[in-house]
Structure 1
Amino acid sequence: MENTTGRVRVRAGGRSEKVRVAVGEATLAFLAEGQPDFTVVEVAARAGVGRRTVYRWWPTRDDLLVEALEVHVRRVPTVEVDGSWEDGLRGLAHRLAEFAADPVEVAIAAIMAGGQYPEFNRLVLRQWEPAMESWCGLVRAAADRGEAAEGVEPRTVVEALLAPIFYAPVSVRRQMTAAEVDALVDLLLCGVRKR
């Protein structure tokens, strides 16, 4: 796998994997503190990894951000598309509400909302794309089975789910309650129901 500079990245397994995890977690820690303008040297110090090693594999701040976001996005909830539409959507919504309240995710969302780092926003959205596609698959599967209206736009449904779930921790400083998540899911189910 290559990073944004085209250099071959650290291989999985052994000491290289430990370095990769340490660097990714150190970078996420800076993001959790609301500091997206960290330096490569600061990440190396926090990770307990030599500067040369970090510069060799992640020569720029963007390379470190990509690494950290890949680590973070691996924690994003997934969904089964072969179960019922309601169970799949409800289960995903509750797991997303928990994920959205994670301090790292709250900080990332706040940084993005501030709009001061457009390249950071692009990197985050690029890392989220596979997860978004999988969630859209849940909506498509529901439409294919006749559980959702034909022609419903999957991305619109997913974004309608995500917006309030990720808004609450950033703006009102709390995770959506289970009752609020259920009410949101009920609203979405009603809105996309086959008529």
Structure 2
Amino acid sequence: MTALPDWMRPPRAEGWFAEDLDRLPEAPRHTELIDGALVFMMSPQRSWHGRLVTGLTVALMAQAPDGIEVEREMTIRLDARNRPEPDLLLTTAPYDADRTWFAPEDVLLVIEVVSPESAHRDRTVKLRKYAEAGIRHYWCIEDEGTVPAVHAYELDEPTASYAPAGIFRHTLQRSLPFDISLDLDKLAPGRAG
């Protein structure tokens, strides 16, 4: 067994903090911070996942009104010990070429496309953490074998938790956070009949 590289050792006894991610140039590309622990995307990404994220990015950019930006694979600094990296997010923060993270109050919608290695985090851990941070909308997208199924959630502010807002297959029509209309069958070419 080989020794851990120096960059993998926490800089302090309490572990990692959100600002530490910006000082880890050696870390794998998709490194998140969850409860003070580094989480790496270790398994190869599936083609379906990549095509779906690209299709969603293009579709949402075409529909987003002025003042709303669509960002891919950028972290959200939820608090000092949590900086997850969703697949997509919609934000009111203006474009900044040097930005490395977003604040929750600037995020309108977070989208996670579930992969086998991220399923637990996407369905439970991030669902709870994004809600507690006050992010108003969350989509968790599952691969049902032929088309994506979008599980949409809206924030219930009194409880700081998400309430289900619908499960969408084939088409998605939502008026929040803005008018969105998606043909889900076309988002990941090659899967739908």
Both structures adopt the same fold (TM-score exceeding 0.5): no
| Bigger Rg, which one | 1
Q: Which has the higher contact order (CA 8 A, sep 6+)?
A: 1
Higher strand share goes to which structure? 2
Q: TM-score, normalised by structure 1?
A: 0.29
Q: TM-score, normalised by structure 2?
A: 0.29
Higher helix share goes to which structure? 1
